[in-house]
Amino acid sequence: MKQFIQDLPKVELHLHIEGTLEPELMFELAARNNITIPFESFEDVRDAYNFHNLQSFLDIYYQGANVLITEQDFFDLTWAYLLRCKNDNVVHTEIFFDPQTHTERGISFDTVVNGIERALSKAVSELNITSQLIMCFLRHLDEESAFTTLEQALQHKDKIIAVGLDSSENGNPAGKFERVFKRALNEGFLTVAHAGEEGPASSIRDALDLLQITRIDHGVRCSDDEAFVQELARKKTPLTVCPLSNIKLKVFEEMSEHNIVELLRKGVCVTINSDDPAYFGGYMTDNFMAVSDAHNMTKAEIAQFTFNAIDASFISALEKKRLFAINEAYLTLHHS
């Protein structure tokens, strides 16, 4: 099973590029940019990665981002992640970035997006990995800041396919960003949002209704409302679930309690993703393995996570067909 998972072609739909900042690169960039960080060693950083909730993670996540200054830094960060994708056989990835985390520090929007985009372009030709870029608004900041960010994104429509919503869910309801999302939709962006990670099932419903999103990031709390689960299954609304993240942030105590397999078997379009892998202890293969180790699953069920992700991805029908064919061939070959 381990070999099957390792070689399985994968599609990632929920990945924060700032959350791939490994301690080694953090130190390298801190030295390069002459930034002081509050850690003496890699071990110090890893010790700091023992979070007890979403906020304790966010505090250190924003601190880590301080080492990202130049376009080359954003290129290096993204390229390091893409090499991990290659290693995990991720064939397509849809990456989140948080411009406000950087523009609030005086880094220009262009610097951020151009550095990331340069790495993504290089990955197509050199690693055979395709990608899409999704810009997230930080929900703990105000609506005005989100509008400013959307304005900055308009000249990069050729690079950014969608807008999303992340950061602290509690106390920052979807309704706060209803007007921004409406404007983004009018500008031709696709839309996604984090919901139902910390917040209740109603938070997911609000995101769907008020923000008109096509994909829910996390969404695991939908299980609190069985009728809603049935509705999500019926409508094939995708949930981009992040198993290791959910354990690390205490959404579930143990992987055996995680509801992803139950949701899969109920016909919900659930996918496996790594969220902030440098902080949560694992990239794509690690997340697949963790779910497989804790739940007795068939190879067809495990492959279904990839089929769901292809379905839920923001790629052309032709490209979906190509990826489906690759995965069907893989499953046929290893199904016994």
DSSP string covering 208-274, please? HHHH--SEEEE-GGGGG-HHHHHHHHHHT--EEE-HHHHHHTTSSSSGGG--HHHHHHTT--EEE--
Q: What is the mean pLDDT of residues 275-293?
A: 96
69 contact partners, CB below 8 Å, separation of at least 6: 29, 33, 35, 107
**pLDDT band of 336, cuts 50, 70, 90:** low
Q: What is the mean pLDDT of residues 271-283?
A: 95
49-95 pLDDT tens trace: 877 787 888 788 888 899 999 999 999 999 999 999 999 999 999 99
Q: Which helix (H) or strand (E) holds 63?
A: helix 54-64
Please give the structure tokens belonging to residue 88. 């995990």
pLDDT at residue 330 above 90?
A: yes
**Can you give the pLDDT at residue 59?**
82
**pLDDT band of 189, cuts 50, 70, 90:** very high
Rounded to 5 degrees, what are φ and ψ at 45?
A: -65, -45
91-142 pLDDT tens trace: 999 999 999 999 999 999 999 999 999 999 999 999 999 999 999 999 999 9
Rounded to 5 degrees, what are φ and ψ at 275?
A: 65, -95
**What is the share, in percent, of the chain residues with pLDDT greater than 90?**
88
SS3 at position 331: helix
Domains and CATH numbers, the chain: 2-22+75-334 (3.20.20.140)
DSSP string of 290-318? HHHHHS---HHHHHHHHHHHHHHSSS-HH
Question: What is the dihedral angle through the alpha carbons of 95, 96, 100, 103, rounded to the nearest 10 degrees?
Answer: 0
Check 71, 94, 197, 198 and give the catalytic one.
Answer: 197
* Measured distance CA(96)–CA(162) in Å, rounded: 9
* Measured distance CA(121)–CA(109) in Å, rounded: 18
**What is the share, in percent, of the chain residues with pLDDT greater than 70?**
100
**Can you give the pLDDT at residue 251?**
93
Residue 197 is among the residues annotated as catalytic for this protein: yes
Q: Taking Cα atoms as reference points, which of 90, 91, 104, 88 lies closest to residue 137? A: 104
Provide the whole-model pTM. 0.96
Q: Taking Cα atoms as reference points, which of 243, 280, 237 lies closest to residue 259? A: 243
Q: What is the mean pLDDT of residues 177-203?
A: 97
Q: Which residue has the tokens 């990031």?
A: 217
Residue 311, amino acid: D
203-244 pLDDT tens trace: 999 999 999 999 999 999 999 999 999 999 999 999 999 999
**Can you give the pLDDT at residue 38?**
84
Please give the structure tokens belonging to residue 65. 């981002």
- E strands, the chain, in order: 10-16, 90-97, 130-138, 162-166, 190-195, 215-218, 239-241, 270-272
